[in-house]
Structure 1
Amino acid sequence: MDAVTAQAIPFPDTDPDSLAALVQAVRETGYSFTTVTPATHAHVNARPQNARARNLRDVLGWSRPFSPEILPEAVLTALERAGAVSAQGDVRTPNVRLSSLDGELFLHSAYPPSAADAVFFGPDTLRFAAAVVAHLEQREAPVRRAVDIGCGSGAAGICIAKRAPDAEVALVDINPAALRAAAVNARSAGVGNVRLHRSDMLTAVEGEFDLIVSNPPFMIDRGARAYRHGGGPLGAGLSLAVVEAARARLAPGGSLVLFTGSAIVEGRDPFREAATALCAEAGLSWTYREFDPDEYGEELADPAYGDVERIALVVLTATRS
């Protein structure tokens, strides 16, 4: 993962109209980009030939410094109007990235995502969205109210809103930068059934939900960055808090889809044990599967993971009868 000491690039606190215009200008070029992990990003950008950007993907995907003349004029103008670029002499540096998912472009923080309030988007975002879409495809009852807890860029909630246009979809996050990005992304995707709330879990929204989804931070992060630090035992604190919140607010027939990570210790999965016990106490039926048995192996060098043999990506689905 990226170093905590890397230069922090704040997400622009600027006019949302200008940011939406930037997304549209980029979309019109046919741009697409699949965002990689910070570790892969660092390896690729460290190659000598990648010191400077040569095209639009290098700028808004790989976050490389660039000379203004390499960009289409409409995109450069939109970047400047949105305050999404920094200048040092004749060299520019982008302050945002754009990534592809579900036929849309999602605005999020530039690399490295080292700011405490970074708006993160990466491979786990794609995995999480895929798990949510798969649940929707299997679900028989319509979704009337849904919420994405810790929405970040808003990707999963927007995927729900596109597929359930008559539903009320709440995007909640404690991070104001995430809500700014999610608002632009919802607008750019053309979904009008999304509402944004600054909220710690579900404290700022009322009522029950047919669908609760979340991809909370699950790592032990010495920088305590909001998008990454899970707290609690081996980073599971926020994931367990999501289960606690969901079991109190699921409507009859409603489901929680939780995509998270779990630190496996000597063959045991302590998060599974704790989370499914919470579900059982609330009378929820549940399924649990490992989406990927071994991710983030580089984290095991941290002494905090001294007893952990692997970090699995998991999906917990819990349903109220």
Structure 2
Amino acid sequence: MSTVLETIDGGTRYLEKRGIEDARRNMQMLVAHQLDCTRMQLYTQFDRPIDESDLAPLRVNLKKRGEGIPLQHLLGKVWFHKLEFKTDARALIPRPETEELAEFILQWDLSVDSQVLDMGCGSGVLGLTLASERPGWQVTLADISPDALALARENAAAQEIPNARFLQSDLFSAVDSSFDGIVANLPYVPDSERATISREVRHDPELALFSGHDGLDLIRRFIPDAFHRLNPGGWLALEIGHDQASQVAGILDACGFTDIEVKTDLSGIARFPFARRSREPAIGS
């Protein structure tokens, strides 16, 4: 019978041979998930024998991880800000950069009773985090994918977040109200990168990843309509690709947004354009 430490060591070697980055952490997370404990708690029970009843499903998940199935899909959950959300193949796996976007917004001094839209909400982690942290806000989560919306609803129910509503919409096609703030993490990967994305990312829905030859097709459609759906003085916050900042800032300016600023993520990449609606777009823009 293998101990916890022996199982971690053996699984780590298996994942390393299959090119899995951060193999030891991956294996620790799989073992902790199977034993229903935290990763840190494993350090106090390295000598604990693992029963075959736990080893058998662990081997199945280990094989899947070695094949490139994302760790988050195998665990079925992910921590985002202060909450644990369900995640699966119905929506994009939440990225750390999106968590940074949420934290930027939560630092602002905004009205306690804002109407906010999360466009392209996916699993709902961004909009539901804002709704949880700002219970006076009414947050609308919209997505074109009924599967993603179902997952977002499940997450809202699990976290008992009452101030969120859900709307299936192709961008603003089904939106019939205006907002004090709009946040969006829309697909921004260029079609040309389809062949080069990692095998883990290939498990995300294509609908949540790709957006035309330069990755900006949806953003070009979205920004002009977002301007007209914002109340005067309303704010817009986006997450974009690593080389899209200047183009997106130009689109924002052409559509009439002001106070345009692009903040960097923790890796120093210009990732988060912010802007406000404070004037009408110029004639002919």
| Cα distance in 2 for residues equivalent to 1:61 and 1:196 | 33
Contact 1:212-1:246 within 8 A present in 2 as well: yes
Shift of 1:148: 0.2
With 202-211 and 48-57 compared, the bigger mean Cα shift is at 48-57
Residue of structure 2 equivalent to 1:44: 22
Indicate if the aligned counterparts of 2:128 and 2:161 stay in contact, CA closer than 8 A. Answer: yes
After superposing on structure 2, the runs of 4+ consecutive aligned residues of structure 1 that deviate more than 4 Å are 57-62, 87-90, 92-96
Question: CA–CA distance in 2 between the matches of 1:60 and 1:261?
Answer: 36
2:118, 2:127 within 8 Å by CA — same for their partners in 1?
yes
SS at match of 2:100: helix
Pairing 1:171–2:141 present: yes
| 2:277 is the counterpart of 1:319 | yes
Q: Is residue 169 of structure 2 the alignment partner of residue 199 of structure 1?
A: yes
Structure 2 spans left out of the alignment, 5+ residues: 1-18, 40-49, 65-72, 196-204, 280-285
Change (3 A) 1:105 1:57: farther
Q: Does 1:225 align with 2:183?
A: no
Deviation at 1:211, TM superposition (A): 1.2
Q: Which has the higher strand share?
A: 1
Q: Percent identity among equivalent residues?
A: 26
Report the CA distance shift for 1:60/1:44 in structure 2 as closer, same or farther (over 3 A): farther
1:191-249 deviations in whole A, cap 9, x for unaligned?
A: 111111111112112111111111112111427811211325x2122223231221011
Residue 20 of structure 1 corresponds to none
Contact 1:217 1:229 (8 Å CA) reproduced: yes
Count of aligned pairs between the two proteins:
230
The partner residue of 2:83 within 88, 104, 111 is: 104
Query: What RMSD in Å do the two structures reach over aligned CA positions?
Result: 3.7
Give 1 or 2 for the bigger CA radius of gyration: 2
Equivalent residues of 2:143, 2:170 under 8 A apart:
yes
Greater helix share, structure number: 2
2:135 and 2:26 mapped to 1: Cα distance? 45
> Structure 1 stretch 236-245 or stretch 203-212: which is displaced more?
236-245
Matched position secondary structure for 1:243: helix
105, 109, 123: which one pairs with 1:138? Answer: 109
Equivalent AA in structure 2 for residue 227 of structure 1: A
Distance change in 2, residues 1:256/1:56 (3 Å): same
Is 1:235 aligned with 2:235? no
Q: Helix, strand or coil: the match of 2:76?
A: strand
Tell me, yes or no, if structure 1 residue 273 matches structure 2 residue 250: yes
Helix, strand or coil for the counterpart of 2:170?
Answer: coil
TM-score (norm 2): 0.67
| Residues 85 and 155 in structure 2, CA contact (< 8 A), matched pair in contact too | yes
Show the counterpart of 2:60: 91
Q: Return the TM-score normalized by structure 1.
A: 0.60
**Equivalent residue for 2:153?**
183
- How far apart, CA to CA, are the structure 1 residues paired with 2:156 and 2:28? 33
